[in-house]
Each structure stands twice: as structure tokens, then as C-alpha cells.
Structure 1
Amino acid sequence: MFRILKDKILGKRKNSQVVTAEDWELSKSLEENIKMFKKIFNKDDMINFREFETQEAMPLKFCLIFVDGMVNKAIINENIILPIVSFSLKDIDQNEQIIDTLKNKVIVSSTIKEQKEVYELIGSCLYGNAILLIDGFDDALLIDTKGWTTRAINEPSGETIVRGPKEGFNESVMINLTLIRRKIRSTDLKFKFREIGVRTQTKVCVCYIEGIANEKIIKELDRRLDDIDIDAILESGYIEELIKDSPTSPFTTVGNTERPDVVAANLLEGRIALVVDGTPHVLTLPFVFIEYFQANDDYYNGFVYASINRLIRIFAFFISTSVPAIYVALTTFHQEMIPTPLLLSISAAREAVPFPTIVEALFMLLAFEILRESGIRLPKPIGSTISFIGALILGQAAVDARFVSAPIVIVTALTGISNFLIPKMIGALISVRFIFLLLSAFLGLYGYIFGVIGLFIHLMAMRSFGIPYMLDVGALNMQDIKDTAIRAPWWVMHLRPKLIGDNNKVRQKDSKLHEKR
């Protein structure tokens, strides 16, 4: 615990001030200990040093150290200071019993522990706990007093659904873990904490179900987390970028979600979740390509409707990446492949346009991305309105001014709308779309086909923590394709995903429910 902070204190990290362990040890003098901590927290006005003593002729002196704004003042005043001030030493014969008496009979707190290591005390204090120093003792008490304000549990705005739970994660790691625990009430659900970030000491929790999760993947994740050496972890995206496979690929190999039900479902399939304090986005791994097209309400609605929606998302992937490239290729190199009435209509629309088709396409696609980004950055009440109105005005004005033709506006609109069916893939869609577009502009349909072949080779070569990225995409086994392009009924999905949940393959026994009916 607090490994990186300890290394910094002991002078093991590069570019840090060398401090010996002896300089950071508690002594039996309360004044010396207070001076040491004031030196550690120099120029930090949020650190409070509350000195007090018992009401006796020979009082015992104490000092409580805590961070203002991160503690519950009621616990500080009513559960720690008041009981100690009212405490009498008459019934205690030996000084060695004082700490045990304070822990067991005086202080009211859910968690109290003795601690000598200064780096442990510092880290816990900065996370909302209080340090109680006692005159005459070289041990300190670490008391749980955390009490900062957290955001309410609401439905995630980026993952709204019609049917299913409406609760989402917030920025508190403990609340997020509680939401997961409520979904999976099993002793096999394990939580392993660690701190990452030299300056921020961000609390991170690795979650998995013992007996289902692959031990090799857990060990590989631990190794990659151990290798992270960075000043700050302010959001789970930092960790995602540092631990994912194929870091230069536009496709991610680590999933993220704000929904507890999605994390619970992933854990039950053998995946691992990474919960980071300070963000509602929880990482899940391994992450395979087909997960882009899966939504949590696919499993809450009927399998026929869910399968149709999933096929629509897959078709949207084709539209978003390929339609601009195919349009440019056909109108530039392969006009003979276009039906004559349609070709005449396109030619008439492009009659007075001075730019080639590729310039039209690049201009309109770039304009759409600018409007999309501005809609995200503007305040919510006006962002979507401005983006839609801006798109209409810009498209109509560009056609009237003969900068672009009407067909390219239709192609751009269709491409842009298809983006929103797969919101987590927008970055990859934009990258692939422009690559396909440029290849088609130079080589026609041959360039597009080369691009598709290159994309498939790239995806097939990728791995996510040792798991093939295109897992089950080309499967011929019926059991392996039951949750890919379609969502099969629950009563036929007996096994967990191959390679991910191999430790415990059986999800449910062979159900005869519908046969009995």
C-alpha cells in the first residue's frame, strides 16, 4: 500500500528529494511529531492540527490531524474529541493500555488501526482519514473520518436505455463498488485495491469473480498496473491508454461503461473490471470487437427485437465507414456501375459545382465533425439545437451557393447519423472513414477493397490481454455465435464466452423449460 509514496520518501524515485527513513519516524514526543507533520504539510492551509487534552490534573495531550473539507466534522467533534476530552485515566494502571482503551472503549468509528509508518499515515490522511497523535507514544491511531460530498446516483446521460436499471456510477469508488456488490451478492466477488499516481495516489480497485475470471489475465493486468509510473491519474482514461494492447490503433482493447448492470454482466462472463476513484467510467477487460455492437438493453428486451437492433448497428458501421468512399469511387472512376437515371440526377446536381467529388466529401465531412464537436462542448440546452440548425443552414447554403452538390449532403447526413448508433466507436469510425475515402479517391473501388482488407488484417492481428480481438466473429460453432451478430434466447446460451470464461464455462444447465410448454 502506498508503494510509490514510500519509494519517494525513501529516495528511491528519480528526480525526487532524497529523504531517509529516520527523518520520517514517529517519536514519543508529541511536539516533535507535530513539528514533523507541519514540515511535511508545509504551506498547506487545508491541513488542520487540533490539539486538546483530557480534563485531569495531569492531563494526557493529543493532536488530531485531518484535511478540512474531506472529513465529516460530526465524527471529528462528537466521536473523537468529545469522548477523549471526557475520558478519565483513573481506571488504567499502565500506560500501555491507553491505546487499546481508546480504540475499544472511547473513540466511536467504524475503522481504527494503529500505525507507525509515516508514509501510510500521510496517504490515509490525504484521503480523508484522521491521524491521532498521543503524547508519550510513538504509535498513531488512523481513524476513518471520510465525509466529502458526492454526486447523486443518476442514469448515465451517455448510456440511456428504455428498459432496465436507471442507476449509474458516480465519482466515489466506494459507492461504485457498492453498486456492483448489490448486483452480485457472492463471496467469490473479489476486490483488490491499489494506489496509482505519484502525486494523486488515486485509489484503484480490480474487481473479478474468483473461479470464473482467467488467472492469467488477472496477473497480466497486475503486471501492467505495476509498470505505471506517472504523476497523476485523474480519470480512468489515463489507465486505459497505459495498459491497452495496440496503443496506436484507433480501436480500443479496453471497454468502459457508467452502468453497474453492464459491469456485473461482464464480471459474470469472466471479465475483469477496473474501478478508478474520481470518475464514473469503469474499465472492463478483455474487450473484443463485437462488444461495440452490444447494448445492455439487448438482454432486457426480447431476443428477436434485440437481434434486429444489433444487426442495424452492424449495418450502421458499414454505412459510416464505407458510404462516402463508395460514393466518391463510383462518381469518379466507375460511373458505368451507377444506374443511368441516378447517374443523370447526380450529374445534374453537380453541373455547376467547381470542386471534384473528393473535395466536396472532405469539406462536408469535416464540417459535420466540427458541428458535432461544437454541439458537445456547448451548454446542453443550446448545444443540440445549434448543431442541428447549423447543419441544416450550412448544408442548404452550400448547395445554393454551388459549393457542394445535394447528393454529397445526403451522403454526409447518412454517415453522420450512423455514427450515433455506435457512440463508443466514433473515434475509430472517423479514422477508418477518412482512410477509406482517400484510398477511393486515388484508386477507386480497388482502393476501397484494399482498405477493407487492411482493416480486417489489422483487426485479426489485435489481441486484448491475450484474447483474439475478433473472437467469435468468424465462428462456425452454433454455441459461439449465439451472442455475436444476433442475440440468441437465454435458454440456449448455456456457455460463457470462449477463452474469457474458460475457468467455469457453464453459464446455465441445459434448459427444457420451453420443451415442457
Structure 2
Amino acid sequence: MTVKGKGTALNSEAAGERAAEHRPLSASLEETVALVRKIFNNDGTLRVRIIENSQGSAVRCGLVYVDGMVDRTLIQNGIIKPVLAYQPAEEESRDPAGLIESIRMTVIDVADVMVSEEMSGLIGAIVSGKAVLLLDGYAGGLIINVQGWDSRGIEEPTTEKAVRGPREGFTESLLVNLTLIRRRVQDPDLKFEFTEIGTRSKTQTCICYMESLASPAILKELYERLEKVELDLILDTGYLAELIRDEPYSPFETVGNTERPDTLVSKIMEGRVAVLIEGTPFALTVPYIFVENFQASEDYNINYYFASFNRLLRVMGAFLSISIPAGYVALVTYAQEMVPTLLLLSIATARQSVPFPTIVECLIMLTIFEVLREAGARIPTSIGQAVSIVGALVLGQAAVDARIVSAPMVIVVGLTGITTLLNPRLTGPLIIARLALLCTTSLLGIYGYFFGLLGLVIHLMSLRSFGVSYMLGVGSIRPQDIKDTAIRAPWWDMNLRPAVIGMRNRRRKPPKRPAKRS
């Protein structure tokens, strides 16, 4: 009963604080400061400073801010010193509204200052790291942008390293990230629209797009989906991606993400829309299509022959990653006549003392490989690679010597793991697709493999991302549609932006093709 009563009291107190945010402001400085202290009850970071200038009570102000989220030097030099030295005219002292405007226009030495007469607006400014200057006799206050906190510097993204290309990556600061984008696109057509998401966190969110390229239908759909987000806390764009995606139960992502400013800018210039939020280096891009899983930023910075070869390797790697285990199980278990005799004898000899069926053996080894991969990703970098490599070698050799698994199965699982690493964006979907094909193959043999593969293709063809087909460009016979899919055509030959995505203005303005030298 005691705990219940305490909880009820806390809930009542919280409800009272929320109600206080919507009360009308008082012209009395003492009453307003008391109300602010009540709202921030038990918060030791709140700071309140009463300021009276050299004219006595002619200008009496209260400065409110949250310690640790502001620039103290800017507060001292841009607010406190100018207010202490300010000498208002006699007629200004009798008009609080005119006095607050005069302080905003001529006294405060900070770039971003605005007037607010709502308590909810003042409280929102305080918790976001801004300072609020209250004037005795005026039912309102000045919101002054003095935000300042330590943040991580600009570094190369660890998840999207490139051999050739820019080394800059996004940080946890939204304004820094927007600056990285603006530096690359110095065009007034680039738009940044801000909103807040999260009923309690009030996470600042920015929607970024090129006005003449982005589809109005995609923009409208994105805004509608963001408005339906009702979580109280948003810490990362991964929260939003899961809430605004088209197919919530599909393993394939229909919302893209990137840490690289150059990658984001290239997608915006194709007509896509980006979403960035405060506190995370990952930005979202919509719509997102299947072929983007095989594209890398450095593909556009190296020779197009080599870039196309690398993309074909990634496509082949994705196919082999889901097909090698299922194909091996199908051939060894159901279709031995399709295997060359000498190879079949070698496999049979290696499996002679193995106690498990092929499918069980395959599942055991795949599980062990995924355990090693996850362990290598989570433990410290200095020993992560050693654990992955040594663990795979030792466990694999020990399992073969103990006759728990056969040597060919170790080769099959090793090839499967290596080909999976070619496409980091598809790691999750490839694991699920691989297990699904293994299940169908274990039941129906080679027919189950093809039935499973057909089902996977049908599923991919049915997906959409913000009204755009997920398999856009795949299977097309038009040369312009396949110039940036599994291959990368030279820049002078990519004359159009992707269909549907850049439909408003598909024509690029590429440089002319260089003339052949005689």
C-alpha cells in the first residue's frame, strides 16, 4: 500500500507539472521563476540567475538555463554583460513590451533571439539547451540560442569505408551533418525542413530534399507516416525506419541508411528524400530499392570497368550465400546422380563416420559461424578478429577430427560466410533466406530449392518503397534503366536519373564524352 501511494503521489506530481506548462504566463518575475522551478522540480541542472543592471530595478531580469547544454562564455559575454550595462530610456522603462523588444534588438549580443509568450515554448527551449531571459513586468521571455556541448569530431565511417573517396562521415550533431550536406550542394533548391518527433524526447528531425527533383507524392507520404509516429522516445533513425517502412514483416529493408555525406548527397540528387535526426550519425533515405544493396560509394570514384566487376561480384556473392548450403544438401541427400562420381566418393568417405544427417550437420556449422561472427563484432576490436579467425580454424579442425562434421561441410560453410560478407547491408535478409531455402530443400530436395528461390523472387517483386517498386531496374531491357544497377556505366553515358524516383526532372547535365585522340 505504501508503494502504491508513493506511485500515485509521483503520478499526481508529474501531472501537475505538465499542467503547469500550459498555464498563462504571469508578468511577475518571481511567479514565473517559481513556476519554472516547480516544473523542473528535483532537477539539479537547472540554473536561475537574477540580473539587475546599474539603473537599479529599471531592468530586472531572470536568466534560466540547463547547465551542461549551454555555452557559458556566450552567456557571460552575450547576455549578462550587455544586460548589466544597458541603460534604457525613461519611456522604455514604463513599457515592458517595448523594453523587451529593445533588449532583443539592441542589447543581446547573440545571433538567434526570439520572443515567446507561452510557457510551453519557454520550457521546450530550456530543455533543448537554450537560455530564457525573463523580464519583470512582461508576461513572456526571450529565447536565446546559446547551445553548446561537446560532440564527436568528424571521422571516417567505420561501416562504410572506401579505398578512394571522401573520408568525412556524419556525427551525432544535426547541424554539423546539415553543414556537410550544404557544403556539397550549394544550391538554394536544397531544402531543410525541421520537425520534432517523440512525445517526450522532442527529437529534432530534419527532412532534406531537392525541391525540383523530389516527388511531391513521396514527400507527402513521408510526412503522413512521420505524423503517425507516437513513440515517446526517439534515439536513432533505426526507430523511424522500423515505423515508416512499407513491409514491416519483410526481412528486406525498404528504407535506406548511410553515414556518408557524399552518398546521401548523390541519392538526394537522384530525387530521393533524406531524414536526419539529432543524436545519431545515420541518415535515412527514401525510397530505397533492391539494387542499392550492391552499390558502394567508391564505385563512382574508380574506373567503371572495375566498379562493374565489383558489383557483379557482390550480386554473385548474395546468390551463392543463400544457394551453397541448400545446393549441397540437395545434391548430397536427394540428387547424388548429378554429382561427379569421384567427388561423390570423396564426400561419402568424409561423411562415413559423421553421426548426423547432412541438413543437421549444415545447421550446426552455420550456427557456429554466426556465433563467431557476432562475437567478433561485439568484443573489443583488438581481439575481435583474432577470436573470429582462430575460433573458426580451431573449432572447424576439431569438429572434423572428432567426426562431428565432415570436411566438405566446413568448406561449404566457409564459402557461405565469405560470400555473405560481400554485402554487409544484406547480412540479415541473406541469413533468413538461406535458412528458408535449407528448409524447403530438406523437404523436397532440388525441387524445394527452386520452389524456395521462386518464392523469394515473388516476394521481392511484390515489395514497394513509398510507392516505388523495390525491384526497380531489375529485369528491364532498356539500356538507360540498367546503367547503374548490376553494372556502372561511365558518367558521360548516364544521361537520366532513375525512373519514377527522379521523374520530375530526369535529365542530368553530364560532361560531354571525351573525344578520341588520333
Say if 1:92 and 1:98, in contact at 8 Å, map to a contact too.
no
Amino acid at match of 1:386: V
Deviates more, 1:51-60 or 1:326-335: 51-60
For residues 201-350 of structure 1, what are the structure 2 equivalents within 5 Å? 201-350=202-351
Q: Tell me which residue corresponds to 1:53.
A: 52
- Number of paired residues? 503
Q: Give secondary structure in 2 for the equivalent of 1:511.
A: coil
Q: Tell me which residue corresponds to 1:445.
A: 446
Q: Displacement, 1:56?
A: 2.3
Q: State how far apart, in whole Å, the 2-side matches of 1:396 and 1:403 are.
A: 10
Amino acid at match of 2:27: K
Q: State how far apart, in whole Å, the 1-side matches of 2:460 and 2:38 are.
A: 54
Deviates more, 1:506-515 or 1:465-474: 506-515
User: Aligned in 2, Cα 1:57/1:133: closer, same or farther, shift over 3 Å?
Assistant: closer
Q: Tell me which residue corresponds to 1:477.
A: 478
For residues 13-52 of structure 1, what are the structure 2 equivalents within 5 Å? 24-52=23-51
Amino acid at match of 2:28: S
Say if 1:129 and 1:145, in contact at 8 Å, map to a contact too.
yes
Q: Residue deviations 1:213-257, cap 9 Å, x none?
A: 101000000000001011100110000000001110000000000
Amino acid at match of 1:172: S
Q: State how far apart, in whole Å, the 2-side matches of 1:119 and 1:22 are.
A: 5
For residues 396-415 of structure 1, what are the structure 2 equivalents within 5 Å? 396-415=397-416
Q: Give secondary structure in 2 for the equivalent of 1:479.
A: helix
Q: Residue deviations 1:465-506, cap 9 Å, x none?
A: 000000010101011011111001111100000000000010
Q: State how far apart, in whole Å, the 1-side matches of 2:16 and 2:450 are.
A: 58
Q: Give secondary structure in 2 for the equivalent of 1:160.
A: coil
Say if 1:492 and 1:510, in contact at 8 Å, map to a contact too.
no
Q: State how far apart, in whole Å, the 2-side matches of 1:90 and 1:372 are.
A: 72
Q: Tell me which residue corresponds to 1:78.
A: 77
1:106 matches 2:111: no
Q: Tell me which residue corresponds to 2:8.
A: none
Q: Tell me which residue corresponds to 2:181.
A: 180
Say if 2:333 and 2:358, in contact at 8 Å, map to a contact too.
yes
Amino acid at match of 1:107: I
Amino acid at match of 2:488: R
Q: Residue deviations 1:293-328, cap 9 Å, x none?
A: 011100000100000000000000011111000001
Tell me the TM-score normalized by structure 2: 0.95
Q: State how far apart, in whole Å, the 2-side matches of 1:272 and 1:497 are.
A: 14
Q: State how far apart, in whole Å, the 2-side matches of 1:277 and 1:436 are.
A: 40
Q: Residue deviations 1:175-226, cap 9 Å, x none?
A: 0011011111100000110000011110110000011010100000000000
Q: Tell me which residue corresponds to 1:12.
A: none
User: Aligned in 2, Cα 1:92/1:166: closer, same or farther, shift over 3 Å?
Assistant: farther
Q: State how far apart, in whole Å, the 2-side matches of 1:472 and 1:502 are.
A: 14
Q: State how far apart, in whole Å, the 1-side matches of 2:256 and 2:178 are.
A: 18
Q: Tell me which residue corresponds to 2:146.
A: 145
Q: State how far apart, in whole Å, the 2-side matches of 1:429 and 1:374 are.
A: 19
Q: State how far apart, in whole Å, the 2-side matches of 1:328 and 1:17 are.
A: 65
Say if 2:331 and 2:338, in contact at 8 Å, map to a contact too.
yes
Deviates more, 1:49-58 or 1:134-143: 49-58
Q: State how far apart, in whole Å, the 2-side matches of 1:211 and 1:157 are.
A: 33
Q: Residue deviations 1:18-49, cap 9 Å, x none?
A: 96689522111001101111111111111111
Say if 1:255 and 1:285, in contact at 8 Å, map to a contact too.
yes
Q: Displacement, 1:510?
A: 8.3
Amino acid at match of 2:282: H
Q: Tell me which residue corresponds to 2:125.
A: 124
Tell me the TM-score normalized by structure 1: 0.95
Q: State how far apart, in whole Å, the 2-side matches of 1:514 and 1:502 are.
A: 30
Q: State how far apart, in whole Å, the 1-side matches of 2:82 and 2:479 are.
A: 67
User: Aligned in 2, Cα 1:154/1:57: closer, same or farther, shift over 3 Å?
Assistant: closer
Q: State how far apart, in whole Å, the 2-side matches of 1:267 and 1:353 are.
A: 55
Q: State how far apart, in whole Å, the 1-side matches of 2:407 and 2:31 are.
A: 79
Q: Tell me which residue corresponds to 2:198.
A: 197
Amino acid at match of 2:32: N
Amino acid at match of 1:125: I
Q: Give secondary structure in 2 for the equivalent of 1:114.
A: strand
Q: Give secondary structure in 2 for the equivalent of 1:503.
A: helix
Q: Tell me which residue corresponds to 2:386.
A: 385
Unaligned runs of 5+ residues in structure 1 are 1-14
Q: Residue deviations 1:40-89, cap 9 Å, x none?
A: 11111111111221122434221111111110000111111111112223
Q: Residue deviations 1:390-444, cap 9 Å, x none?
A: 1111101101101000111111111111111100111101100011111111111
Amino acid at match of 1:492: D
Say if 2:17 and 2:39, in contact at 8 Å, map to a contact too.
no
Say if 1:492 and 1:511, in contact at 8 Å, map to a contact too.
no
RMSD: 1.6
Say if 2:219 and 2:273, in contact at 8 Å, map to a contact too.
yes
Q: Tell me which residue corresponds to 1:9.
A: none
Q: Tell me which residue corresponds to 1:135.
A: 136
Q: Tell me which residue corresponds to 1:435.
A: 436
Q: State how far apart, in whole Å, the 2-side matches of 1:213 and 1:142 are.
A: 34
User: Aligned in 2, Cα 1:26/1:18: closer, same or farther, shift over 3 Å?
Assistant: closer
- Identity across the alignment (%): 49
Q: State how far apart, in whole Å, the 2-side matches of 1:298 and 1:190 are.
A: 27
Say if 2:21 and 2:119, in contact at 8 Å, map to a contact too.
no
Q: Tell me which residue corresponds to 2:168.
A: 167
Say if 1:161 and 1:297, in contact at 8 Å, map to a contact too.
yes
Q: State how far apart, in whole Å, the 2-side matches of 1:23 and 1:299 are.
A: 53
